[in-house]
Amino acid sequence: LENRPGNRECKDVVTARRKGWRTGRGPVLAAMLLLALTGCAENAPQDFLEPEGPVARTIDGLQKPVFLVAGVVFVLVEGLILFAMFKFRDRPGRAEPEQVHGNTRLEVGWTLLPALILFVIAIPTIKTIFDLSNTDEGALQVTVTGHQFWWEYRYEDSGVVTANELVMPTGRPVELTLESVDVIHSYWVPKLAGKTDVIPGRTNRMSFEADKPGTYLGQCTEFCGLSHANMRNVAVAMAPADFDRWVADQRRPANTPPDGSPAAEGLQVFNGRGCSGCHRVEGVSEGNIGPNLTHFASRGTFAGSMFENNPDDLRTWLRDPQGVKPGNLMQIPGAPLSSDEITKLIAYLETLN
Amino acid sequence: MAIVTQPTPAVPTPPERELPPAAGPDAPIRFFRRPTGHTGGIWGWITTIDHKRIGILYGVTSFIFFLIGGIEALLLRVQLGSPENTFLSAEAYNQVFTMHGTTMVFLVIMPMSSAFANYLMPLMIGARDVAFPRLNAYSYWVFLVGGLFMYSSFFLGGAPNGGWFGYTPLTREMAGHNIDFWVFGLQILGIASLTGAVNLIVTAINLRAPGMSLMRMPIFVWMALVAQFLLLFAMPIIAVALVLLTFDRQFATNFFNTAAGADPLLWQHLFWLFGHPEVYILILPAMGIVSEVLPVFSRKPLFGYQVMVFSGIAIGFMGWGVWVHHMFATGLGPVATSAFAASTMFIAVPTGVKIFNWLSTLWRGKIRMTTPLLFAVGFVTMFTIGGLSGVTHAVVPSDTQQTDTYYVVAHFHYVLFGGSMFGLFAGTYYWWPKVTGRMLSEKLGKLNFWLMLAGFNLTFAPFHILGLQGMPRRVYTYPENRGWDFWNFVSTLGSFLIAASVAVFLYNVWKSRHNAKVGDDPWDARTLEWSIPSPPPEYNFAEVPLVTARDDLWHRKYVEDENGRPVLREPVQAEADDKGPPPSADDGGGERPDEAPEGEHAEEEPHIHMPSPSYWPAFSAVGLAVLCYGLMYKTWVVAVLGAIWILGGFYAWALEPATAPEEPELEPTAEAELAPVGAPAAETAGEE
């Protein structure tokens, strides 16, 4: 998780594409052209034309042929228009045109032809809609709760609660139960699946699976207020054994810092400056407004995955949470945290692995 | 009261003279002097009920809003030009993107389409005005008041910041009055749209010149008519949704309170049940404009007029059955989404037919590369791109990836800017000489077009790529490592190219003051508005035309030879002789003046009664803002004042005679004021 999220992906994606070329697997020319245009010349970790799981791949397999059909129609229609503009433009000596008012047979033809094309597209579309609505047996059940502006995950089997980073095993589907405590959000990991809205008062479901271990980026895609842009998420897929180890780690109680250490002073700041009112640390505090911090140090990102979990970013965040993430609910009561307090807090937070 | 009846006969009748008692309720009018045909300057514009002047007001106002919305767009593009930019704060960005969308939809494309419909519909169907001229003025003033009301938010604590479709429960819970400005502003604008729709529907159906059957009606009038029907049925839906939201925000009701068990999808269904027909309200008038422009500059009739009409009507009907495609990610289940996927795909059929018919109109034509034609062809090519990306949205599983990303933003800019705005620019260049009597420069016009086409594609084509790379819409910032930097930068450059093209347009307009006057028919066009002077006189047609064919003017000018090619009817004859090819044309209406509007009789203008101007439409419209400020700030005194203002305005309006008052110099006695127009007033109209 120390990697900056996304860097690794691009390499994967690039190799995947090379492989695609070599084996001749992979879609038709036009779609490849589109890929080349939009693909990973730069690092585009949210590019959904490079799926990394079966659900996203199913969608991709439907999307690219449609792009191809649209591309053909595009070339045809625009080509005809340009041709007409060139060929029939007014030149000296050009005769007045014949006054054609219409042609029923042609018009019936170009009513039926698009209808036919669309009918052909509709069949696999509807089939895929129903295929994707089936849920898999034996999926890992996770309840996702949208908050302004971060995500909370509750693993139903193990009781593990974490934030922003969905940790999942490879080769096994995850079924998400989506709920919101405030406004409408939308949950999305582009390389793994399409998005599903997260609506207060309703329960939506989505499921997806990752092919191989990796970090997959996503973000909230329904405008949810001031810091909508800063509400991001990460899916971390790991081998099943690693995942089991992760669950076991998450189920441990929070570490208690040794007396007299800076971390122990940080714990005092945590309790004394109001952090504990909102954040839960198992065995230390009962807050339930902000993210559960029991295993904070095990996460790669924080604050709606907008920061990497390192001392510098933590300092930036704790110095002025409203300044760097406007409109979020973290209000530090009283005076801003002093530099010293922040140092101690960071020391404490780093023990919570 | 008897006096509200429309005085169709121009001759005063004795019973009307016996109405002095009605002057009693008229009393408040005396605070103002009633405007007359002589009322000039700004008051002339404020009191005008001439559909052409109202059309110009609509056009100028919506163009100013277009500039404002464009500046907002530039702000957004500057902010997104580089990652983690701090040019705009999150709050400012959210206000600006909300106002950009709201402005472009409600304050630009809708009213600009109204400008064309207002100005052209009566001219194209051979009428002297719209059916309800004062209501027409009211529509305009309500639109202006609604726009200013919404923009006053910038000075009163902050502009709306919940997005142009204002999803609840976010908009229910947002603090401050930002959202209230949006809610009340849209409600006011809805009134303008509704009254305008009723007016134009009645106009198109009832005021067509003799001989103009529905299937001879110019295609622009048809498309505008379909759009007005969509408005008529769509605006009440959003009005209901806005009333519910108003009650939630002002009086803590629970229509959208999820804590009390409300379902937020109620708002989405209501909004999109309005919002999707709205999309066709935005595009149909532009389609109509393009369908007028292409034939004129191809020198061929519109290919498949009937199919064009019926596909427009089909779009109008099918537009009501596709709204859920805005909600494919909301989890409505496979059956509902499949049904709407199918309906969404099939609405592409009538749209596709239109594109092929436009192409066939150009085919084998004699295409004159004028600015209007370039913009019209720009419409067809850009709209095709938007239509194709629209079809990809109908594929629901793909849409769950594409929706709420920049791919969607690309799509709707291709249909609304590449479509509607290009169409409106085509119309502007095409009818400019009719409205002003002077041409816009073709040289600058072409520069305008090519800059705009290049800028447009440079700005919005990269949005497709950004969307496929997973960039969500409505983000005020994005991090560096997402691979979005380059195309965002390109897009920002493109947006300034668009701004440059608009500057060229403004310069063109400014420069056109000195351009030479043009005649009635500079483009050798096909429809009735080109048969009258440029600019048209107040009464439009000195003689109500008798229509004998679709594209009547064309058939007055040309006959077809044995090969179906047009041949000038009487090549050297003066235009005056072109009127009414069949000899029976003159027995059309009894109230017609004598023939020969040209020559020495020209100054003795015919005795045409025109409805008289009035202050009351503008006056009543302002009351809406007062009422809404009162409701918004819960200052009930102001709200009641606003209500009285509106009702008082309506009351005075209803009691004001439809006939013109006496000359303002005279002491306005009750009798004089009521004296129906007759000869003197008609002369007034003629001199204007």
Q: From CA A142, how far away is CA A147, in angstroms rounded? A: 16
| Contact between residue A144 and residue A110 where contact means Cβ atoms under 8 Å apart | no
> Which residue is closest to B173 within chain A, CA to CA?
A183
| Between residues B530 and A10, the one the model is more confident about | B530
Cα-based torsion angle of the residue sequence A62, A68, A72, A74 in order, rounded to the nearest 10 degrees? 80
Query: Does A97 sit within 8 Å of B90, measured CB to CB?
Result: no
Verdict on whether the full-model pTM lies above 0.90? no
> Which residue is closest to A218 within chain B, CA to CA?
B470
Smallest CA–CA separation between B96 and chain A, in Å? Answer: 12
Two tokens at B21? 């008692």
The reply to whether omega before B317 is within 30° of 0 (cis) is no
| Contact between residue B162 and residue B171 where contact means Cβ atoms under 8 Å apart | yes
What per-residue confidence (pLDDT) applies to B343?
A: 95
What per-residue confidence (pLDDT) applies to B636?
A: 96
| Contact between residue B207 and residue B255 where contact means Cβ atoms under 8 Å apart | no
What per-residue confidence (pLDDT) applies to A37?
A: 56
What per-residue confidence (pLDDT) applies to B661?
A: 60
Collapsing DSSP to helix, strand or coil, A79 comes out as: helix
Smallest CA–CA separation between B269 and chain A, in Å? Answer: 14
Q: Which amino acid is at B357?
A: N
Query: Does B470 sit within 8 Å of A190, measured CB to CB?
Result: yes
CA A85 to chain centre: 45
Count of residues making up chain B: 688
The answer to whether residue A129 neighbours chain B at the CB level (below 8 Å) is: yes
Within 10 A of B360 (CB to CB), how many other CB atoms are there? 24
Mean pLDDT for A74-80 is 97
Q: Which amino acid is at B478?
A: Y
In this complex, the residue of B300, B306, B465 whose CB is nearest that of residue A100 is B300
Q: From CA B370, how far away is CA B63, in angstroms rounded? A: 22
> Which residue is closest to A94 within chain B, CA to CA?
B366
Annotate A302-335 with DSSP letters as a single string. ETTTTEESSHHHHHHHHH-HHHHSTT-S---SSS
What per-residue confidence (pLDDT) applies to B40?
A: 77
Strands (E), B184-334: none
Smallest CA–CA separation between B459 and chain A, in Å? Answer: 16
> Which residue is closest to A188 within chain B, CA to CA?
B401
Annotate B96-119 with DSSP letters as a single string. HHHHHHHIIIIIIIHHHHHHHHHH
Query: Does A226 sit within 8 Å of B392, measured CB to CB?
Result: no
Residue ranges in chain B modelled with pLDDT below 50: 1-30, 572-604, 663-688
| Contact between residue B341 and residue A130 where contact means Cβ atoms under 8 Å apart | no
* CB within 8 Å of chain B, chain A residues 282-321: 306
What per-residue confidence (pLDDT) applies to A136?
A: 78
| Contact between residue B532 and residue B121 where contact means Cβ atoms under 8 Å apart | no
Q: Which amino acid is at B610?
A: M
Query: Does B394 sit within 8 Å of A125, measured CB to CB?
Result: yes
Q: pLDDT tens across A216-266, in order? A: 999 999 999 999 999 999 999 999 999 999 999 999 999 999 999 999 999
Taking the alpha carbons of A331, A333, A339, A340 in that order, is the dihedral positive or negative? negative
* CB within 8 Å of chain B, chain A residues 25-84: 34, 37-38, 40, 42-49, 56, 58-59, 62-63, 66-67, 70, 73-74, 77-78, 80-81, 84
B483 neighbourhood in chain A, CB within 8 Å: 10, 40, 42-45, 47
> Which residue is closest to A6 within chain B, CA to CA?
B481
This complex has an ipTM of 0.89
Mean pLDDT for A108-118 is 94
Q: From CA B419, how far away is CA B315, in angstroms rounded? A: 16
Query: Does B364 sit within 8 Å of A97, measured CB to CB?
Result: yes
CA B640 to chain centre: 32
B399 neighbourhood in chain A, CB within 8 Å: 194
What per-residue confidence (pLDDT) applies to B675?
A: 40
CA A79 to chain centre: 38
B369 neighbourhood in chain A, CB within 8 Å: 85, 89-90
The answer to whether residue A220 neighbours chain B at the CB level (below 8 Å) is: yes
CB within 8 Å of A143: residues ≥ 6 apart: A153, A154, A156, A176, A177, A179
Rg (CA), chain B: 26
Query: Does B483 sit within 8 Å of A45, measured CB to CB?
Result: yes
Burial class (CB in 10 A: 0-12, 13-18, 19+), B132: buried
CB within 8 Å of B276: residues ≥ 6 apart: B319, B320, B322, B323, B325, B326
Quickly list H helices, chain A: 7-23, 29-38, 54-87, 104-133, 240-251, 262-272, 275-278, 311-319, 321-324, 339-351
Count of residues making up chain A: 353
What per-residue confidence (pLDDT) applies to B608?
A: 73
Helix-helix angle B442-468:A29-38, to 10 degrees: 90
The three-point CA angle B602-B605-B609 to 5° equals 160
Q: From CA B330, how far away is CA A184, in angstroms rounded? A: 10
Within 10 A of A308 (CB to CB), how many other CB atoms are there? 17
Sheet holding A204-208, edge to edge: A161-163, A150-155, A140-147, A174-180, A204-208
The DSSP element (H or E) to which A206 belongs, if any, is strand A204-208
Cα-based torsion angle of the residue sequence B196, B198, B204, B209 in order, rounded to the nearest 10 degrees? -90
CB within 8 Å of B263: residues ≥ 6 apart: A201, A202
The three-point CA angle A210-A216-A217 to 5° equals 145
CA distances from A314 to A1, A228, A286, A324, A342 (A): 16, 20, 22, 11, 9
Nearest to B519 by CA among B506, B505, B531: B531
Q: From CA B210, how far away is CA B217, in angstroms rounded? A: 11
Nearest to B297 by CA among B565, B529, B525: B525
Query: Does B403 sit within 8 Å of A97, measured CB to CB?
Result: no
A126 neighbourhood in chain B, CB within 8 Å: 338, 341-342
Nearest to A236 by CA among A164, A287, A284, A297: A164
Q: From CA B476, how far away is CA B460, in angstroms rounded? A: 18
| Percent of chain A's residues with pLDDT above 90 | 83
What per-residue confidence (pLDDT) applies to A22?
A: 41
What per-residue confidence (pLDDT) applies to B21?
A: 39
Collapsing DSSP to helix, strand or coil, B364 comes out as: coil
What per-residue confidence (pLDDT) applies to A43?
A: 77
Smallest CA–CA separation between B558 and chain A, in Å? Answer: 11
